[in-house]
Structure 1
Amino acid sequence: MKWFGAALILLCSTLYGLEQAKKLRDRPQQIRQLRVALQALEAEMLYGQTPLAQASENIAKQLEGAIGDMFACFAANLRARKQTAMDAWREALEAVWEETALKSGEREVLHQFGATLGTMDRSQQQKQLKLAQTHLEREELEAKETQLRYEKMAKTLGVLAGLLLVILFV
């Protein structure tokens, strides 16, 4: 029974380390998806003159995972017509936030961007899209550096912490 408990502790701590490493790996990918989504949104809104709800639906179909879900939720909120674009954006962001690997820096950029949605003319909206993309590019570089620095360490620490707990308890 002792060995079963030791194996369980080791397994759980290893899985925790792997989960933390996965979050570090997923963060730059999700930021990249956001940047691509904002570029697509810019093209749809400014050049295709597509309504915001339809543009968001189109983007959601192109993306997978939490970012695609966020744009799908945003489009559904806009279609319901019960709230402003800013409120629909914030609600969609909050609905999927826990599913993402994003941090507070990206959240702030997305909240600031959402505050400008639907409140400006085309040229000002384009400037806001470019500004958000620039901020996300900076966040992506920082996320890649963090991933390179800490991903392997998170995996190793998960295993080592489990071994330490097993040694202490056995």
Structure 2
Amino acid sequence: MFILKIMGSLMIIISSTLIGNNFGSKYSLRLKNIKGLINCIRLLESEILYLSNPLPEAFENVYKKGGKNISYIFRDIRRYLLENDDKNVLESFKYIINKNKVKLSLTKDDIEILVSLGSILGTSDKTDQQKHIKVIIEQLKIQQRDAFERMKKNEALYKKLGILLGLALVIILF
């Protein structure tokens, strides 16, 4: 009987610790994804401005060159654009980003910035697109600083909270 209590206690503590780690890791994942987005948008800028590639080809190249943890969005946008001739770039961005928003761990503000990228691509000349891309990168850098601050503040909190809640449950139950 005593061994069952010990095993049950360990299972409670381990599972609550894993839940706390899962909640805490969302903060570091958001930071990692914002950094990846900045990199991908810079690649996209090069593809459009300097290589003069059409958007579907530029999206494919960004997918191949960018970090796979985030660049798959550009591959999916490309596919969606090619499969749906009646959809424009903005609609493609909205659809793909909303479809993947949970997996990306991005906030509403991050998503709005990313969707605003879709609103300018293919609708203006290169210099205007370059200006907008620079603004979007700066906005993402602000979001990156915010993500870093939140990660510092909350990641360790959730991890410790998971352990403490597990210990509290064990104490209450036994």
Task: Give me the TM-score of the superposition, normalised by structure 1.
Answer: 0.92
Aligned length: 170
Larger radius of gyration: 2
Unpaired stretches in structure 1, ≥5 consecutive residues: none
Consecutive unaligned residues of structure 2, counting only runs of 5 or more, are: none
What is the match of residue 50 of structure 2? Answer: 47
For 2:46, what is the secondary structure of its paired residue? helix
Give the Å deviation of 1:66: 4.1
The one-character-per-residue Cα deviations of 1:19-78 (angstroms, maximum 9, x if unpaired) are: 122211122111111011111111100111001111111111123344122111011112
Cα 1:95/1:19, change in 2 over 3 Å? same
- Residue in 2 aligned with 1:143? 147
Q: Distance in 2 between matches of 1:168 and 1:111?
A: 48
Amino acid at match of 1:18: N
Matches of 2:69 and 2:91, distance apart in 1? 19
What is the percentage of aligned positions where both structures have the same residue?
29
Q: 1:28 aligns with which of 26, 31, 35?
A: 31
- Secondary structure of the residue aligned to 2:34 is helix
Compute the displacement of 1:82 (Å).
3.6
Q: CA deviation at 1:122?
A: 1.5
Equivalent residue for 2:107, pick from 103, 106, 110: 103
- Superposed CA RMSD: 1.5
Q: Are the counterparts in 2 of residues 69 and 96 from structure 1 also a CA contact under 8 Å? A: no
Contact 1:17 1:156 in 2 (8 A): yes
Q: How many Å apart are 1:164 and its aligned residue?
A: 0.9
